[in-house]
Amino acid sequence: MSTGQSHYLEGCGGCHGIQGASAEREIPQLRGLVGRFLYTSAGREYLVRLPNVAFANMNDEVLADVLNFVVFRLGEGSAPPGAQGYTAREVSVLRRHPFKNERLEALRATILADATLRANRGRESDQ
């Protein structure tokens, strides 16, 4: 088991699911989907600035490992082709600006819609 997976399980997997499949009514699904956030810079930043991520009980290196496990492994190919993984440095900067008073569910819907649009455009241009 990788460091990212081990820390994911201990810190996140209880709610998000051991395989990233969760009770969607309460907790956003990660499996096969979460990589899509990397289609936009807003989405990439969003994943780290979420309070449950930014305040996770992990140092920057471990948190970057967890994010990469989540985005690339649990995401199951939902990330854009050739997407760069998170680095500890990037995580360190982003987590200093956690979301505070934003309406997180509305924010997620907007960011995901935009990322989905980009993902679909990418697929159209491939054809």
Partner 1 sequence: MPDSSGDRLTERLLRALARRTSRRSLLTRIGVLLVAAPAFPLLPVSRGFAAPQAAPPAKSPKPMTDFERNAQTKDPARCDYWRHCAIDGVICGCCGGGIHTCPPGADPSPTSWIGTCLNPDDGRSYLIAYRDCCGKSLCTADKSCMCDSTDREMPIYRPSGDNDIIWCFGGSSMAYHCSTAALVGLAN
| Footprint on residues 30-69 left by partner 1 (CB under 8 A) | 52, 57
Q: Is 1 in the site for partner 1 (CB under 8 A)?
A: yes
CA-based nearest residue to 45, from 102, 2, 5: 102
Which residues make Cβ contacts (< 8 Å) with residue 110, sequence separation at least 6? none
Contact segment (CB under 8 A) with partner 1 among 1-9, 40-48, 79-87, 104-112 equals 1-9
Length of the chain: 127
Task: Please tell me whether residue 93 binds partner 1 under the rule CB under 8 A.
Answer: no
Name the phi and psi angles at 56, rounded to 5.
-60, 150
19 is a site residue for partner 1 (CB under 8 A): no
Q: Both tokens of residue 23?
A: 């009770």
By CB under 8 A, name the binding residues for partner 1: 1-3, 6-7, 9-15, 17-18, 22-23, 25-27, 52, 57
